[in-house]
Amino acid sequence: MAMDPELARFLCEELGHGVTAGGRWTFTGPLWLWRGKAKDGAPTATAWHFITIDGDVAAAIRAAAPGRSAAWGSVYVEARIGATPWKTSVFPSKDVAGYLLPVKAAVRKTERLVEGDKVTVELTV
């Protein structure tokens, strides 16, 4: 059973300590591509696919994250798109006040996803 995001936020902010229960959320967003750039601004071959996590889901992840985070404020998660589960981390994004979920090539291939597709994700912290 997933913890209510508002309860998780209350426990973190008002009581001043982390939440021990994780959470599970389902959300939908477009798959988008980030391309790397060299120091001179020229494009590189580096590219990553992401789905943006914002709003209430991002707030709930932040509330459930203490004790589950890693480098750069990333949060360990289990994700599922369609029938394909995988373990990864979501990375904080100041631009969206939320997180970015990287979607690896094996998942995109199995689920036949391309840039711009609207994708429904089940995420567990």
More confident residue, 65 or 31: 31
More confident residue, 94 or 108: 108
Q: CB 91: neighbour CB atoms within 10 A? A: 17
Per-residue DSSP letters for 78-114? EEEETTEEEEEEEEEETTTTEEEEE--HHHHHHHT--
Cα–Cα distance, 101 to 26 (Å, whole number): 13
| pLDDT tens digits, 45-90 | 778 999 999 998 998 888 887 666 666 788 999 999 999 999 999 9
Q: How confident is the model at residue 20 (pLDDT cuts 50, 70, 90)?
A: very low
Written as six digits, the tokens of 15 are 């009581």
pTM: 0.76
Q: CB 50: neighbour CB atoms within 10 A? A: 19
- Residue ranges and CATH numbers for the domains of the chain are 23-124 (2.40.30.100)
82-85 contacts, C-beta under 8 A, 24 or more apart: 82/110, 82/111, 83/110, 83/111, 84/110, 84/111
